[in-house]
Amino acid sequence: MAPILQVDNINVYYGSIHAIKGISFEVNEGEIVTLIGANGAGKSTTLNTIAGLLRSRTGSITFLGENLAKIPAHKIVSRGLALVPEGRRVFLQMTVQENLEMGAYTQGGSSAATDLGRVYELFPRLKERRRQVAGTLSGGEQQMLAMGRALMSRPKLLMLDEPSMGLAPILVEQIFEIIRNLHRAGSTILLVEQNAQAALSVADRAYVLETGKVVTTGSGQELLEDPAIKKAYLGG
């Protein structure tokens, strides 16, 4: 089976800072793949590069057989790749439903009502608050809204950047249960997450990043049981 996403030898710079150093990895259809690592390891930079918000000086990023190198970020979304950014970034002055409808802009009007119903099934809390202004939601609700908005574009690959950041432990559990439900429903997910324990527990495969390089890879279960990973990332 050909990978849905193939990242090959990307190098990304912020000015003179070499943030990503020759990273390569792949995501197959139906998988949850996670990138874990300490702050500053390059996890979010990798997702932003795949999404077209940053550019690599070398290598290639191939999504569904197409090289994304010269495709602008807004057109990458219409190809079926959606990013839920770190910090959620919902439209604070808009209602919940208006935020979700913004997510469907690449789909045209015909399917939006069906997709809205599906998002409300996944996130009943959003349905309850559909007329509420997004800026008045809790952090957990805003995270659900950001995920729901991304799903409105019918992504073939959903990228989640630090979905549990800043949330209380009980909300972290809820968010990861939603990720499991999305996976069971057939979503392919690339997950960047500071909470290595939670990320590895849902992942089919994982890549460990350190200072812009992939240093270890394996199944989620293998890395959960790896003594070096336990010591560095799991407090074990």
Is 117 a residue whose pLDDT tops 60?
yes
Q: Check residue 15 and give left, alpha or beta (phi > 0: left; psi -120 to 50: alpha).
A: left
Rounded CA separation 213/143 (Å): 28
When pLDDT is averaged across residues 57-67 and rounded to a whole number, the result is 95
The DSSP bridge pattern shows strands 5-14 and 60-63 to be antiparallel
pLDDT of residue 40: 87
- On whether the pTM is more than 0.85, the answer is yes
| Rounded-to-integer distance, Cα 144 and Cα 165, Å | 13
Q: What is the pLDDT of residue 233?
A: 86
Question: What's residue 131's pLDDT?
Answer: 94
pLDDT at 194 over 70: yes
pLDDT of 198 strictly over 90: yes
**What value does the mean pLDDT take over residues 112-141?**
88
pLDDT at 17 over 70: yes
Stronger pLDDT, 185 or 110, i.e. the higher one: 185
Average pLDDT over residues 63-92: 88
pLDDT of 236: 59
What percent of the chain has a predicted confidence (pLDDT) above 70?
A: 95
Q: How confident is the model at residue 156 (pLDDT cuts 50, 70, 90)?
A: very high
pLDDT at position 209 over 90: yes
Question: In this predicted model, what pLDDT tens digit does every residue of 174-188 receive, in sequence order?
Answer: 889 989 999 998 899
Asked whether the predicted pLDDT for residue 114 surpasses 80, the reply is no
Return mean pLDDT, the chain.
90
Average pLDDT on 153-176 reads 90
Handedness of CA 134, 179, 22, 37 (dihedral sign): positive
What mean pLDDT comes out for the span 164-168? 86
Q: Which residues contact 216 (CB under 8 A, 6 or more apart)?
A: 207, 208, 223, 226, 228, 229
- Judged against a pLDDT cut of 70, whether residue 128 lies above it is answered with yes
**Is the confidence at residue 104, as pLDDT, over 90?**
no
Q: What is the mean pLDDT of residues 121-139?
A: 91
d(CA 224, CA 236) in angstroms, rounded, equals: 10
Phi and psi (nearest 5°) for 30? Answer: 85, 0
